[in-house]
Chain A
Amino acid sequence: DTEVTQTPKHLVMGMTNKKSLKCEQHMGHRAMYWYKQKAKKPPELMFVYSYEKLSINESVPSRFSPECPNSSLLNLHLHALQPEDSALYLCASSQIQRTGEALKNIQYFGAGTRLSVL
């Protein structure tokens, strides 16, 4: 099973709303990620959690607040967003495995949450 599950699939919110995006994986991966993606562009890294601790924050505005309640779950809390924050938000997970001489580090993505801020 290489599934990363994201909810909701679609979200429309006003600029004064508070909402949360949720992500879940049961692959035992200890690294989890949030990305923001605009149309036809590569994903832009927002946050990385490693062993449930925030290890990378790519200078993301404080209106985005990540949370990692346990090793399987990752949330992204949204508050006072701007219309330019409308995008596809992707969750991913990965785990480094050494097999003989090979170092395997594969990242799997969820289907994303399409966010529209009005």
Chain B
Amino acid sequence: GQQLNQSPQSMFIQEGEDVSMNCTSSSIFNTWLWYKQDPGEGPVLLIALYKAGELTSNGRLTAQFGITRKDSFLNISASIPSDVGIYFCAGPLETGNQFYFGTGTSLTVIP
């Protein structure tokens, strides 16, 4: 299957710091999705990106769809304790309904 490489694997930051994580693939995606997952819950969609080069914000979150459509990054500004969780990138290939997931970035915010 397709491999999405997500980095870093884990992050430990102080409350108030900014966070940046990214996701790369060897294949072209038509949509990039960023999810946050709390323990024992389903992934919750944070941001969806559709166009190469597109920069999209959702509150303190900013994400960008790479020009080559093979990568994306997610930034979180001024982190707060409730940002704790695992962040996954995901996307479908240009055709079809199968979605591929990154390996996840575990974020810990220290108050």
Contact = CB atoms under 8 A, between A and B. Distances in A.
A108 B35 CA distance: 10
Contacts of B48: 104, 106
Counting chain B residues whose Cβ lies within 8 A of the other chain, the interface size class is 20 to 34
- Greatest chain B CB density within 10 A among A103, A107, A112 is at A107
15 contacts: A2-B45, A39-B39, A42-B88, A43-B101, A50-B97, A88-B42, A96-B97, A101-B51, A103-B94, A104-B31, A104-B48, A106-B31, A109-B35, A109-B45, A112-B40
Interface in A15-64: 31, 33, 39-43, 45, 48, 50, 55-56
B106 interface: yes
Interface of B: 30-31, 33, 35, 39-45, 48, 50-51, 86, 88, 90, 92, 94, 97-99, 101-104, 106
B63 to A, nearest CB: 14
Interface of A is mostly: strand
A111 B30 CA distance: 26
Contacts of A105: 30-31, 92, 97
